[in-house]
Structure 1
Amino acid sequence: MNILSIQSHVAFGHVGNSAAVFPLQRAGHEVWPVHTVNFSNHTGYGDWGGPLIPAEQVTEIVDGIERRGAFPRIDAILSGYQGGPDIAGAIVDAVERIKEVNPDALYACDPVMGNAKSGCFVSEAIPPLLREKVVPVADIITPNQFELGYLTGAETGTLEQTLAAAEKAQAMGPSVVLVTSVSRPETPEDTLEMLAVDGPDAYLVATPRLPFKRNGSGDVTAALFTGHYARTRDARSALAATASSVWDLLDLTHREGAAELELIKAQDFFAHPRLQFAVTKV
């Protein structure tokens, strides 16, 4: 699979393309990264250096890829955190141009807006852009449970509500919705779930909850699910492989006591998922 990944980049640590590209490569995909920022590190440190990449420069890079005759070869386009509202237009423009010459290409959007603990942490201009401009042209979206509710305006406190919210998201455009960090009243405290909805079918996987979080884990999740789904067009197997790889990555990172994701040490888990977690149809 050839995947065009339009995301942020950091030199130190692993978020955005710095989290997505290597796992996809180890999973056997060719990845063409286009950066939207070039920072020293993620902004969670409170201090960073480097520039935002203007939307017109992002488009110039996409234009150059087009001149290489590469658009017909792109199997999937992936996007993540959108630092400014101008980037949305550059991404949508790229998706529309690629789909003109290759209608089978998938567009996967990770609609990064926030989480249940921190609330919405992006510019107030971003959620409306995602709802009205970006999500409608996506084939796959990968929100966490909070973002799904924020995107659709629906409650997500129970499994039934989350499924209804995913159906509401599908009505906006995408046929596949991967919901991460699913929590519901009956979920044990030591368990975390992911839900994949593909058309009328929905699948749930549960993994042990680890007592920490690391920036970039959502970027790895969105990337691996996109790669697996682009290859198989099977949400169930894509969910199983993604949950396996991401949990092993996080478990290793936790055991190492590392401040950043241990992508390199975990690389065999991307190439050969252990598939240790059962996926159930709901």
Structure 2
Amino acid sequence: MRILSIQSSVSYGHVGNSAAVFPLQRIGHEVMPVYTVVFSNHTGYGSWRGPLLSGDDVRGIVQGIDDRGGLDDVDLVLSGYQGGDDIGDAILDSVALVKQRNPGALYACDPVLGSAASGCFVAPEVQQLIRDRVVPAADLITPNQFELGFITGTDPLSIDDTLASVDLVRDSGPSTVLVTSVLRPDRPEDTIEMLVVHGDGAWIVQTPHLPFKANGSGDVTAALFSSHFRGSGDPADALERTAASVFELLQNTLDSGSRELRLIESQEAYVAPQRSFASRRIR
């Protein structure tokens, strides 16, 4: 599978393309990364160095790929954090160009807006762009539970609430929705869930909830799920495979005591994770 991944890049640590590209390559995909920023490290450290690319820079790089015929067989376009509305416009233009070359290509958007713990951390113009233009253009989105509520103007807590919110966002465009970090009040203690809705079905998977936050884990989750789903068309299988790989990656990172994902050290987790987690159909 050939994948165009338009995301940020950091030299130290693993977020954006620096988190997504290697796991995708490790499971056998050809990835063409296009960077939106080139930073020394992720912004959670409070300081960083390096440039932001403009929307025109992104368009130029994608056009250069197209000049070589490199968009003709792209099966999947990924996007994540969008630091400005000009980048969002460039991503939408790139998706449109890919779909001209291959109408069967899938656009998977991780609508990065914030979290329940931190609230919304992107500029108002980016919030509006993602909600009003990017999400409706996507075939697949991977919001966390907070982001799903933000996009739909709802407050999903229970499974029924979350499914209702997913149905609202699917009415706007995306046919497949993966909700990460689902924390329903009645879940078993020390667990966390992910939920996928596709067609008339919905599936949920539960894993232990590890007591730490790892920047970049959402980028890995979105990349793995999107590629598994694009490859098999089976949402439950993609959900189970992603949950197993990401849990092992996070467990390895927690055990290491590192703030940064043990992305390379966990490479076997993407191919053959040691544990499995069965999904359950809930609709």
Question: TM-score under structure 2 normalisation?
Answer: 0.98
Partner of residue 193, structure 1:
193
Deviation digits for residues 28-66 of structure 1 (CA, Å, limit 9, x no counterpart) = 111000000000000000110000001101100000000
Matched residues in 2 for 1:27 and 1:82: separation? 26
Amino acid at match of 2:29: H
Matched residues in 2 for 1:157 and 1:47: separation? 34
Q: Establish whether residue 49 from structure 1 lines up as the match of residue 46 from structure 2.
A: no
Partner of residue 69, structure 2:
69
Amino acid at match of 1:247: F
Q: Establish whether residue 125 from structure 1 lines up as the match of residue 128 from structure 2.
A: no
Partner of residue 210, structure 2:
210
Q: Give the Å deviation of 1:273.
A: 3.3
Q: Give the Å deviation of 1:233.
A: 1.0
Q: Establish whether residue 225 from structure 1 lines up as the match of residue 225 from structure 2.
A: yes
Deviation digits for residues 251-274 of structure 1 (CA, Å, limit 9, x no counterpart) = 000001111000111000112234
Provide structure 2 residue ranges, at least 5 long, that are not aligned to the other structure: none
Answer yes or no: is the 8 Å Cα contact 1:28–1:271 preserved in 2. no
Percent identical residues = 57
Deviation digits for residues 185-215 of structure 1 (CA, Å, limit 9, x no counterpart) = 1112300000011121100000000010110
Matched residues in 2 for 1:274 and 1:133: separation? 40
1:141-180 equivalences under 5 Å are 141-180=141-180
Answer yes or no: is the 8 Å Cα contact 1:76–1:107 preserved in 2. yes
Answer yes or no: is the 8 Å Cα contact 1:240–1:275 preserved in 2. no
Answer yes or no: is the 8 Å Cα contact 1:6–1:17 preserved in 2. yes
Amino acid at match of 2:250: L
Secondary structure, counterpart of 2:24 in structure 1: helix
Q: Establish whether residue 139 from structure 1 lines up as the match of residue 134 from structure 2.
A: no
Answer yes or no: is the 8 Å Cα contact 1:72–1:98 preserved in 2. yes
Answer yes or no: is the 8 Å Cα contact 1:241–1:275 preserved in 2. no
Answer yes or no: is the 8 Å Cα contact 1:245–1:270 preserved in 2. yes
Matched residues in 2 for 1:127 and 1:151: separation? 9
Partner of residue 240, structure 2:
240
Q: Give the Å deviation of 1:183.
A: 0.9
Amino acid at match of 2:96: E
Secondary structure, counterpart of 1:75 in structure 2: strand
Deviation digits for residues 96-125 of structure 1 (CA, Å, limit 9, x no counterpart) = 111112111000000000000110011111
Moved more, 124-133 or 242-251: 124-133
Q: Establish whether residue 35 from structure 1 lines up as the match of residue 35 from structure 2.
A: yes
Amino acid at match of 2:151: L
